[in-house]
Amino acid sequence: MKIIVCAKQVPDTNEVKIDPVKGTLIRDGVPSILNPDDANALEAALQIKDANPDTKVSIISMGPPQAHYMLRECLAMGADEAFLINGRVFSGADTCATSTTIAGGIQAIGDYDIIFAGRQAIDGDTAQVGPQIAQRLGLPVVTYVQGIREIKDGSIVVERQMEDGYEVIEVQTPCVLTCVKELNEPRYMSIKGILEAYDTPIKEFLTPEEIGLVADQCGLKASPTQVLRSFAPAPKGKGRMLEGTVVEMAKELVSSLQEKHIV
Amino acid sequence: MAIVINKEACKGCTKCVKVCPFDAITMVEKKAVIGAGCTSCGSCLDVCPFGAISKIEDRVGGVDISLYHDVWVFAEQREGKLMNVAIELLGEGRKLASQIGCRLCAIVCGSGISDLPAELIAYGADVVYVADAPELANYTTDAYTKTIYEAIDQYKPEICLLGATHIGRDLGPCLAVRCNTGLTADCTSLEIDPHTKGILQTRPAFGGNLMATIGCPNHRPQMSTVRPGVMEKALRDESRTGEVIALKPSFAEGDIRQKVLEIVKNVTETVSLNDADVIVAGGAGLGAAEGFELLKKLASRLGGTIAASRAAVDSGWIDHAYQVGQTGTTVKPKLYIACGISGAIQHLAGMQRSGLIVAINKNEDAPIFEVADYGIVGDLYQVIPAMLEALG
Ligand SMILES: Cc1cc2nc3c(=O)[nH]c(=O)nc-3n(C[C@H](O)[C@H](O)[C@H](O)COP(=O)(O)OP(=O)(O)OC[C@H]3O[C@@H](n4cnc5c(N)ncnc54)[C@H](O)[C@@H]3O)c2cc1C
């Protein structure tokens, strides 16, 4: 079986802080990590490989050269090969253009039975790229996959997470599946994996032509959406800190709420 | 648009490097260089003291936007019942439609849903497009994408709004690619640019650390998803009239590649945080699952419900359905009482718009106090019993 996993290197948004004076992001010292949902996507692929050793797991990412670190981490977890689409022409892409580029990369890699992606990346939280890749490749998609029940010949049975439960869905293969964190517990890198990862070359696609595209289909130019403005969210004005003993504070709070007819 | 640097004018002051939210600018030989992470957000334009940074138009593609009219709302239904978010979108859609001066339309798919068009009209739709077919009984990506894409292609709406539910976030991206247009996820505010009549979509990025306003100038429809609970619901008015247009979806062998074998509902009680007027939420500070019993007492005294931070959910004290925040539910009750919750940005993203916020936390420096109308520094296990006492 051939599996392709889409992965992204992201800033750890948990560590991102806003400069309270300038209202800008403080990025110094913010670590870059493998996007959490993508780790679940890779784990899903590796579990299939554990059960069927002749499975090949390829990772594909679009991003700056620093994404090599993240790709090596994926290799050290057990992926067989890694591809990076990297170049100024791909930059500034919105999800629409990103999906065109990654779909191009996937076609350049070639054969696949299942494509896994994370549900969403924590720096954008859009959840759009996975299903959009599926549309570009003409493949069926199931998003929010929280369980894999059975891999059959020509189809796969998965659980799709819903707000109030889940659905059991049979989808034809090849297909795209986007994964949520409930799907599995990603494994750690192994020592052997780490050693081998450094010997595995990361293959790079540097031009649109290498992935069957032209420059006008890539990056900012090919992005229908435009960021017109970005700004720090206006802080809600700080209210009143109550003072006194616990009983006094509780009383004051309750009477203020009663005055405002909230309780 | 792209950001370009005039190398002659750049003096290497690095102001732009520091302000770039995407870390996309570096200094090479004392000159600023725009790197791969640039999204053309324009944050750097104003900070350059030397006017060395400018924005140039270089987009390709697009459509004749004059062919596209009306605001559409995807009216999501499950088991024949409209989702609340559909009614919220009709409320917001009405505002947009009147600012543009166009019609508000709803599109609804399902099987045996003949009573829904009247309901959608009562909530403000001027036109309802209905696709009623057995294949559409349960949502599948392929069947819904095909049906709605064909309708968009035929009737050409200028704006298309979807709820950011597990269904809307699956359908939206597929439709956007089919229509070759842009889609902005999880918008928290929508406005119409008075000059271009295009939509201005504002959404959180970087886990809520930054807000971005996004437009889609050259492609149609302009598509957005909006999280449930963010917009005001439309008011129901049975006297309204509107037009109903039946769509005629047809499916060939192989068109629908997903098959729903089973639908499993959580057995736990259904939680409706969106409708609650009062929410008493607990976090890691509860220390144990039993803490929610105390919160329940306060909640029921106030006629409200309980909720939780992710830390409380991750500790296994309470079901995910109760989680408020970026990866949980967005809530807007009249009163939100945060007990033992630090106020991480991801939590704030889901409750900041509450009418009145009370925070109870041992740590006086907890960020939750920054958004609280009333703050009490203290142990929740003492403060809540005292509040119950004071309530009588
Ligand atoms: C991608 C991503 C998405 C996320 N999505 C969400 C989300 O949707 N919702 C969400 O809530 N979080 C979310 N988080 C997690 C978020 O970053 C925080 O980790 C989480 O909100 C912390 O929960 P907490 O405030 O309960 O716990 P802590 O941060 O551990 O805070 C506990 C607080 O309780 C106080 N305390 C302790 N004991 C007492 C006592 N006896 N009385 C009074 N106060 C006491 C402490 O002073 C402390 O402030 C997300 C994180 C990431 C990375």
**B81 or B230, greater pLDDT:** B81
- The mean pLDDT value for A148-152 works out to 97
Closest Cβ–Cβ partner in A96, A140, A254 for B390: A254
Alpha carbon separation from A179 to A42, A120, A148 (Å, rounded): 9, 9, 10
**B35 or A100, greater pLDDT:** A100
Residues 6 or more apart whose Cβ sits within 8 Å of residue A234: none
Identify the band that residue A260 occupies on the pLDDT scale cut at 50, 70 and 90: confident
Residue B379 C-alpha to ligand 1 middle, in angstroms? 16
* B214 to chain A: closest CA residue: A227
Cα–Cα distance measured from residue B304 to residue B277, given in angstroms and rounded to the nearest whole number = 6
**A19 or A147, greater pLDDT:** A147
Alpha carbon separation from B306 to A76, B268, B301, B366, B372 (Å, rounded): 43, 14, 12, 21, 18
Query: Measured between CB atoms, does B184 come within 8 Å of chain A?
Result: yes
- Write out pLDDT tens, residues B305-323: 999 999 999 999 999 889 9
Identify the band that residue A125 occupies on the pLDDT scale cut at 50, 70 and 90: confident
Q: Do A246 and B21 touch (CB under 8 A)?
A: no
B16-25, B275-284, B381-390: least confident range: B16-25
Closest Cβ–Cβ partner in B39, B370, B378 for A238: B370
Residue A253 pLDDT more than 80? yes
Average pLDDT in chain A: 92
Q: Which fold has domain B65-247?
A: Rossmann fold (3.40.50)
Fold: same for B65-247 and B273-391: yes
Q: Assign residue B185 a region: left if phi > 0, alpha if psi is -120 to 50, beta otherwise? A: beta
Identify the band that residue A106 occupies on the pLDDT scale cut at 50, 70 and 90: very high
Residue A178 pLDDT more than 80? yes
Query: Measured between CB atoms, does B176 come within 8 Å of chain A?
Result: yes
Q: To probe the interface with A, which of B20, B177, B320 has the most A CB atoms within 10 Å? A: B177
- Write out pLDDT tens, residues B127-167: 999 999 999 999 999 999 999 999 999 999 999 999 999 99
Q: H/E/C letters for each residue in chain A?
A: CEEEEECCEEECCCCCEECCCCCCEECCCCCEEECHHHHHHHHHHHHHHHHCCCCEEEEEEECCCCHHHHHHHHHHHCCCEEEEECCHHHCCCCHHHHHHHHHHHHHHHCCCCEEEEECCCCCCCCCCHHHHHHHHHCCCEEEEEEEEEEEECCEEEEEEEECCEEEEEEEECCEEEEECHHHCCCCCCCHHHHHHHCCCCCEEECCHHHHCCCHHHCCHHHCCCEEEEEECCCCCCCCEECCCCHHHHHHHHHHHHHHCCCC
Closest Cβ–Cβ partner in B214, B257, B375 for A242: B375
All structural domains of chain A with their residue ranges: 2-222
At residue B204, the pLDDT reads: 85
- Write out pLDDT tens, residues B239-251: 999 999 999 999 9
Q: Which fold has domain B2-56?
A: Alpha-Beta Plaits (3.30.70)
**B376 or B303, greater pLDDT:** B376
Identify the band that residue B59 occupies on the pLDDT scale cut at 50, 70 and 90: low
Which residues form the pocket of ligand 1, taking CB atoms under 6 Å from any ligand atom?
A 13-14, 122; B 207, 283-285, 309-312, 323-328, 340-342, 344, 346-347, 350, 360-363, 366, 379-381
Residue B358 C-alpha to ligand 1 middle, in angstroms? 16
* pLDDT > 70 in chain B, percent: 97
Chain B residues with CB under 8 Å of A98 CB are none
Residue B32 pLDDT more than 70? yes
pTM (2 decimals)?
Answer: 0.81
B138, two tokens: 């349960």
- Write out pLDDT tens, residues B367-392: 999 999 999 999 999 999 999 999 98
- The mean pLDDT value for A26-42 works out to 88
Residue B344 C-alpha to ligand 1 middle, in angstroms? 6
Chain B residues with CB under 8 Å of A24 CB are 18-19, 21, 43
At residue B229, the pLDDT reads: 83
* pLDDT > 90 in chain A, percent: 76
Which DSSP letter does residue B82 get?
A: E
Given the candidates 3.90.100.10, 3.40.50.10490, 3.10.580.10, 3.40.50.1220, the CATH classification of the domain at B273-391 is 3.40.50.1220
CA distance B104 to chain A (A): 23
**The ligand 1 atom nearest the CA atom of B341:** 25
Q: Do A228 and B378 touch (CB under 8 A)?
A: no
CATH no. for A2-222: 3.40.50.620
Identify the band that residue A128 occupies on the pLDDT scale cut at 50, 70 and 90: very high
**The ligand 1 atom nearest the CA atom of B380:** 42
Residue A13 pLDDT more than 90? no
Closest Cβ–Cβ partner in A64, A170, A260 for B37: A64
Buried-exposed string B12-22: b where 16+ CB fall within 10 A, e elsewhere? ebebbbbbbbb
Identify the band that residue A143 occupies on the pLDDT scale cut at 50, 70 and 90: very high
At residue A235, the pLDDT reads: 66
At residue B19, the pLDDT reads: 86
- What ipTM goes with this model? 0.90
At residue A245, the pLDDT reads: 94
Q: Do B165 and A242 touch (CB under 8 A)?
A: no
Query: How would you class B74 by CB atoms within 10 Å of its CB: exposed for 0-12, middle for 13-18, buried for 19 or more?
Result: buried
* pLDDT > 90 in chain B, percent: 74
**Pair B366, B285: CB distance under 8 Å:** no
At residue B267, the pLDDT reads: 67
Q: To probe the interface with B, which of A227, A245, A254, A260 has the most B CB atoms within 10 Å? A: A227
All structural domains of chain B with their residue ranges: 2-56, 65-247, 273-391
Q: To probe the interface with A, which of B139, B186, B206 has the most A CB atoms within 10 Å? A: B206
Helix (H) or strand (E) holding B48: none
* Best of A8, A12, A14 for a ligand 1 pocket test (most atoms within 8 Å of beta carbon): A14
At residue A95, the pLDDT reads: 94
Closest protein CA for atom 53 of ligand 1 = A14
Chain B residues with CB under 8 Å of A171 CB are 257-259
Residue B313 C-alpha to ligand 1 middle, in angstroms? 10
Chain A residues with CB under 8 Å of B40 CB are 92, 220, 226-227
